[in-house]
């Protein structure tokens, strides 16, 4: 599965918002962009798209920014990827009868990927992304 830079940035942004979800205040774009090395103008375009899909909300002003529109446990990685890259990643139709076997395998792999993406919540990823405390 190939993930575009735009999709990866979207996932990083949504995970960043999920990690601050309980604080119930908007996260400035600049903060997300700087912490993940994402060009701010590119991130703005991504967040506008996520907002249009109802995954995030925005607040204007000096204390403005973005936050998740709903609980991160209710947003799947698949939700984010479908907004950014679309949902059709189907394999092309086989040209030869012998290729049908491969085509069926590609479809099974695709179905497995979709299942994993749809059952991996942003809350799970935010929890996994927390920096462990290795001090003794």
pLDDT at 135: 58
CATH number of 5-87+122-129: 1.10.10.10
Please state, in angstroms and rounded to a whole number, the distance separating the CA atoms of residues 11 and 6.
9
CA distance 12 to 2: 16
d(CA 106, CA 45): 32
Mean pLDDT value of segment 52-71: 95
Question: Which residues 6+ apart lie within 8 Å of 123 measured at CB?
Answer: 18, 71, 72, 73, 75
Output the pTM of the full model.
0.81
For residue 12, the tally of other CB atoms under 10 A from its CB is 20
Q: Where are the alpha helices (DSSP H) in 20-132?
A: 29-36, 40-52, 77-85, 99-118, 122-129
Mean pLDDT along residues 24-44? 95
Whether the per-residue pLDDT at 23 is higher than 70: the answer is yes
Across residues 20-43, what is the average pLDDT?
95
Q: Among 17-26, 84-93, 110-119, which stretch is predicted with the lowest mean pLDDT?
A: 84-93
């Amino acid at each position: 599965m190939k993930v575009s830079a735009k999709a990866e940035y979207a996932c990083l942004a949504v995970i960043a918002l999920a990690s601050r979800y309980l604080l119930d205040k908007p996260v400035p774009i600049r903060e997300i962009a700087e912490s993940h090395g994402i060009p701010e103008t590119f991130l703005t375009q991504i967040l506008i798209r996520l907002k249009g899909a109802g995954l995030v909300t925005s607040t204007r002003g000096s204390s403005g920014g973005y936050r998740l529109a709903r609980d991160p446990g209710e947003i799947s990685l698949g939700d984010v990827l479908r907004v950014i890259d679309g949902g059709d990643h189907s394999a092309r139709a086989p040209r030869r009868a012998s290729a049908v076997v491969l085509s069926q395998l590609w479809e099974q792999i695709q179905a497995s990927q979709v299942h994993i993406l749809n059952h991996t919540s942003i809350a799970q990823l935010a929890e996994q992304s927390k920096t462990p405390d290795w001090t003794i």
